[in-house]
Amino acid sequence: MVMDTLRVAAVQLCSRQDRNRNLVLAGELLREAADRGAELVALPENFTYLDREGKKVGMVENLDGSPGVALLREFARDANVVVVGGSVPLMAPDGKRVTNTCLVFGPDGSLKSRYDKVHLFDIALDDAHNFQESRYIAPGQDFAMFDYRGHSMGLSICYDVRFPELYRKMALRGAEVFFVPAAFTMRTGRDHWAALLRARAIENLAYVVAPAQWGRHNVDRESYGRSLIFDPWGQTLAEAPDLNGVIVADLNFSYLQDLRQQLPCLKHTRFMNPEDKTTPMN
């Protein structure tokens, strides 16, 4: 059944090294989102555990019954909502690294989609901002989408937002909403977070829902926060303050389709084939 409007929520939290504490907090905020009428709720990247990347192997989840995955599945079923599960670490095929994986569960508790983060955060801005995710995380190889109530939605994670070709590929496949769960660093987030998200919304005439980590996670790592929801014109529908909480917005798909007819930039693109896959990372 095609629905013209959909109420979505983005959860913002500050995950730390205590997984049980993180899951309790995430559960409380998921319930708040459902109480506010959200039909689809999205969590931030690393919602189950956030510490140094090398420690994720010890907190690996699985699809059968691990704590974080169980929370997503059971909440989706009990609240009759779709849950976009930020990201959790799953064991990579090499048995040494993990994948940074976004799992989507439907209202019946079934797994609707899985996305393994493709673009890994290997950067060296300065001594305090030196990250090499590829040492501990195995990259995904393709994009992922899911359908809900007649609308297509695309998945991405954090650093992916710097690669517009990923979003254009999904838009050419029909995506109307992009999810960007993230844990943006304070250094990059101050100047780039909102600008990149707004650009992805404007250039694809799509909604962007970006639930974020915020605050200090350990002595070395602090996230920018400011979870955001943008409309297809680049207007801010909701923005989170610097605290744990939930932001909510109503997505109007008739408005989106009107904009795409009035400004048909997706039909004017010349350098992309929607059948192409993302370029794998070695």
Compute the distance between CA of residue 158 and CA of residue 6 in angstroms, rounded to an integer. 23
- Helix, strand, coil shares, percent, the chain, to 5: 30, 30, 40
- CA distances to 36, 74, 149, 179 from 211, rounded to whole Å, are 16, 20, 21, 8
Q: What are the backbone dihedrals phi and psi of residue 7, each rounded to the nearest 5 degrees, phi first? A: -90, 125
Residue with tokens 């506010």: 36
- In one-letter notation, the amino acid at residue 47 is F
Between the two ends of the chain, the Cα-to-Cα distance in Å is 41
Query: Which residues are annotated as catalytic?
Result: 45, 117, 158
For residue 8, which of 32, 37, 40, 36 has the smallest C-alpha distance?
A: 40
